[in-house]
Amino acid sequence: MKRNPIFCAIDTGDADLARSLVAQVSALVGGIKLGLEFFAANGPKGVQELMADVALPLFLDLKFHDIPNTVAGALRGVMTLAPAFTTVHAAGGGAMVRAAVEEAEGRSKILAVTLLTSLGEDDLPSLGVNGGVSDQVRRLADLAIEAGADGLVCSPLEITALRTQLGEGPVLMVPGIRPAGADADDQSRILTPRQAIAAGASHLVIGRPITGQVDPAAALSAILASLETA
């Protein structure tokens, strides 16, 4: 394995715990993912303070979803944090995705979320979605990439189909990763790290299988070892 594809998800609002976790994993990961839980509790200043001495890419996973002008304004506000990747919901529509891409102006790669990995086939009818998960993911993927998104956030089970559909260009940031034998937690569509990389994932987002362990660094080292032949 020539690169480290793992973004460790620091999913906590506790700034002290976040600092401890980052300190334990920063030498072993390819990047840090911060989402709504941390951002809502600590704001942009908290993100700046956490990442100040961390020489790693930041994946700021806030999943913006609003009218185009509002999303552009939100992107303008977080560009000072220099995120390598920022997320929007593809379901916000092509105009919204374009507004995000234009506002980022290459300073951050815009990734579009297709369907949350907590959603399965049984959830779609109640959301008014016709067809299955794979159909909806493909529709939203085409919409986002045509609108200029740099890539997608997708479940492990859609990696192969999206690579076939979109080619090698788009970034595929993949949550829902669980090492062999780990609990699925609230994820419905999962693969092991090695399976996901073999399928064509660009980056893996892994949280609780690392941060929920007594020794996060040891858990991460085990995952990296499993990828050595991927």
Q: Could you confirm whether 63 is annotated as catalytic?
A: yes
Within 13 Å, how many C-alpha atoms sit on residue 36's CB side?
6
Task: Write b or e for each residue in 37-51: b if 16 or more Cβ atoms lie within 10 A of its Cβ, otherwise e.
Answer: bbbeebeeebbeebb
Q: Return the beta strands (E) in 10-157 as ranges.
A: 31-35, 58-64, 85-89, 109-113, 151-153
**Helix/strand/coil (H/E/C) assignment for every residue in 104-141:** HCCCCEEEEECCCCCCCHHHCHHHCCCCCHHHHHHHHH
Q: Which of 2, 45, 63, 109 is catalytic?
A: 63
What span, in angstroms and rounded, lies between the C-alpha atoms of 227 and 139? 31
Catalytic residue ranges: 63
